[in-house]
Amino acid sequence: MSATMRASLLVAPEDLQIRDVPRPEPRPGDVLVRIEQVGLCGSDVHFFHHGRVGDLVVAEPLILGHEAAGVITAVGQGVAPERVGERVAIEPQRHCRECSYCLDGRYNLCEQMEFASAPPVHGAFAEYMALPSMFAHPIPEAMTFEQGALAEPLSVGLAAVRKVPATENRVLIAGGGPIGVLTAAAARAHGAREVVLTDPIGGRRELALALGASCAVAPEELADHVGRGFEVFIDTSGAPPAIEAGLRALRPGGDAVLLGMGHDRIDLDLFRVQSHELHLHGLFRYTRTWPTAIDLIARGVVDVDPLISDRTGLAGLTEAMRRNGDPEVMKILVNPQR
């Protein structure tokens, strides 16, 4: 195996370069995965355009990408050699396992978290990636690598519906991008009585209906579907008007989960939150969602294939980044071996 690999590095905003870089070596407890498919995420695009997401700043050339699947090609000390050749979906986290959050099972909040594609940690737009063996989740032979990669955005949706009591409740979701559509699918899989999704783009509303939403409407039509209100509101849009409308659509005592990447600060109707005793939840990544995500995809409960808008290799990544905001684009898959 060569000591180098091809990778796409973000060297400056809107400047991706394919370079030969050292192939990572698996640490003790790690596996080395040959990356077969990577989904392009909105956070990757934000890094591409702006060189930062919040307080995460790209100070040195960075390999982006974290929605990935591939094949284990080598293992580190302490990992069973029989895992070589295993097909896996990647949970792109490396936690310390020692801080209070890790010990409480909330490892997504680990004080020393290394998250793939979050500066300065390299991600998956490369031929190989090393990661903890516990986060290389086996996938069935019948599952494609594309489906395995899309276990990551489905995991975000699963984490959102686990934050709140979705079962037997009415759930409102703002935003019909990949996360919103998969959150709708996750809500239905968790027994939500009704799932209403809002998005201004008709094609995305149609896809949401196909993947599990009970109803999908334009934002201006939401008032016709509020009725007595929703028990749960999940915002995946990050748009202040959508958040305001969602909070107003909640029943007293309802739960709101905010996960959309939009503005750092928004105006909040604090009186409504207080007078209606609304519960606001932030969401940051996920914990222990991959086994469920893989199972839902494998059994056909959640069909991720319709999300795929296009496929490309590393050379097409710049164009993919620029196309990602197009209304008809949902998810672009990248094969780093091309």
| pLDDT(107) > 90 | yes
Which range of residues forms the domain containing residue 21? 4-150+304-335
Structurally, the chain folds into a number of domains equal to 2
The answer on 251 and 143 residing in a single domain is no
The owner of tokens 């995500």 is 293
pLDDT of the residue at 54: 83
Q: What is the CATH number of the domain that holds 253?
A: 3.40.50.720
The answer on 199 and 83 residing in a single domain is no
Q: What is the CATH number of the domain that holds 23?
A: 3.90.180.10
In the chain, what percentage of residues exceed pLDDT 90?
A: 96
Burial class (CB in 10 A: 0-12, 13-18, 19+), 92: buried
For residue 99, being part of any structural domain is answered with yes
The answer on 273 and 314 residing in a single domain is no
The answer on 144 and 167 residing in a single domain is no
For residue 292, being part of any structural domain is answered with no
Summarize pLDDT for 149-202 with one digit per residue, the tens.
999 999 999 999 999 999 999 999 999 999 999 999 999 999 999 999 999 999
- Across the range 267-272, mean pLDDT stands at 94
The answer on 163 and 145 residing in a single domain is no
Q: Are strands 250-258 and 230-235 parallel, antiparallel or unpaired?
A: parallel
For residue 68, being part of any structural domain is answered with yes
In the chain, what percentage of residues exceed pLDDT 70?
A: 100
Contact in structure between 10 and 64 (CB atoms under 8 Å): yes
pTM (predicted TM-score): 0.96
pLDDT of the residue at 261: 81
Contact in structure between 212 and 240 (CB atoms under 8 Å): no
